[in-house]
Amino acid sequence: MLIRISLIVAIVAALAVGALNIFQVRDKINTLITQRDTFHTERDQARTQLASTQRELSKTKDDLAQTQQELTNTMTQLTTAEADLKVQTTRANDLSDKLAKATQTLDDTQAKLEAYTLTGFSAQQVLSLSKTLKSAQAELEAVREENGVLQRTVSRLNNQLAQLIGITNYVVTLRADLKGKIIAVDPKWNFVVLNIGGDQGVLDDGEMLVSRDGKLVAKVIVRSVQKDRSIANIVPGWQLGDVIEGDVVTPAHPAS
């Protein structure tokens, strides 16, 4: 009987130990499963973050390449503008010299003509001098016209150069005697058409004041210049009244 009881006790103890071991093993298994799932989650997050970082790096490389290309293009434009400005400035200086010489020739010819007339030279001699005078006057006028074109070209190139260099607070100056009128108004798109253009000295980005009966109405900025026409936008915050056809425009920043 005692042996049977001892055997039963031993079996129960063995079962208890086995159950305990099963619970411990199950806990370890659950812990391992949790650790595995956590590892997988962290791995997936790391992969996602790596892919995002690689995309951002690729985009940054593309942006850098585009910026470098834009910088190269800007430097090329700047170099071209500087070279063009140098050539046009040299031509303008040469024309100024020619203008001075032509003016001197004209003055000398006029003086000689007056002297010959007073001294009683023949009509043939006076006619010859008159032809020489007219020729000098025509040459002088041609030089003056070409010089004006070159001066406007130099001004335009100076404006472009200033914009490329990035000069802050730069304003485009226009001829002090420049004056025109508005010949068309588009209130929907807020632009006007002027009856003056490049031949009269209008330059891109030049600002002009709009007035009527001596009173300021608005300010416009030139956006497109043609031979004898210009298109300008009304500057926001400067419109004090309705702009109409016939309003007078003058430079907001006249050249000294």
Read off the pLDDT of residues 84-94 as tens digits, 9 standing for 90 and up: 778 888 887 88
Domain ranges of the chain: 1-170, 180-251
Distance of CA 8 to the CA centre of its chain: 100
Phi, psi of 214 (to 5 degrees): 80, 5
For every residue of the chain, which 3-state class applies, written as one string? Answer: CHHHHHHHHHHHHHHHHHHHHHHHHHHHHHHHHHHHHHHHHHHHHHHHHHHHHHHHHHHHHHHHHHHHHHHHHHHHHHHHHHHHHHHHHHHHHHHHHHHHHHHHHHHHHHHHHHHHHHHCCCHHHHHHHHHHHHHHHHHHHHHHHHHHHHHHHHHHHHHHHHHHHCCCCCCCCECCCCCEEEEEEECCCCEEEECCCHHHCCCCCCEEEEEECCEEEEEEEEEEECCCCEEEEECCCCCCCCCCCCCEEEECCECC
Distance of CA 172 to the CA centre of its chain: 14
CATH of 180-251, one of 1.20.272.10, 2.40.10.340, 3.40.50.12780, 1.20.1250.20: 2.40.10.340
Q: What is the C-alpha to C-alpha distance for residues 135 and 144, in angstroms, rounded to an integer?
A: 14
- Residue, of 110 and 246, whose pLDDT is higher: 246
Q: What is the C-alpha to C-alpha distance for residues 71 and 224, in angstroms, rounded to an integer?
A: 26
> To the nearest whole number, what is the mean pLDDT of the chain?
79
Return the structure tokens found at 206: 């030049």
Read off the pLDDT of residues 188-243 as tens digits, 9 standing for 90 and up: 899 999 999 988 989 888 999 999 999 999 999 999 999 899 999 999 999 999 99
Distance of CA 135 to the CA centre of its chain: 45
| Residue 204 pLDDT | 85
- This prediction has a pTM of 0.45
Q: What is the C-alpha to C-alpha distance for residues 256 and 253, in angstroms, rounded to an integer?
A: 9
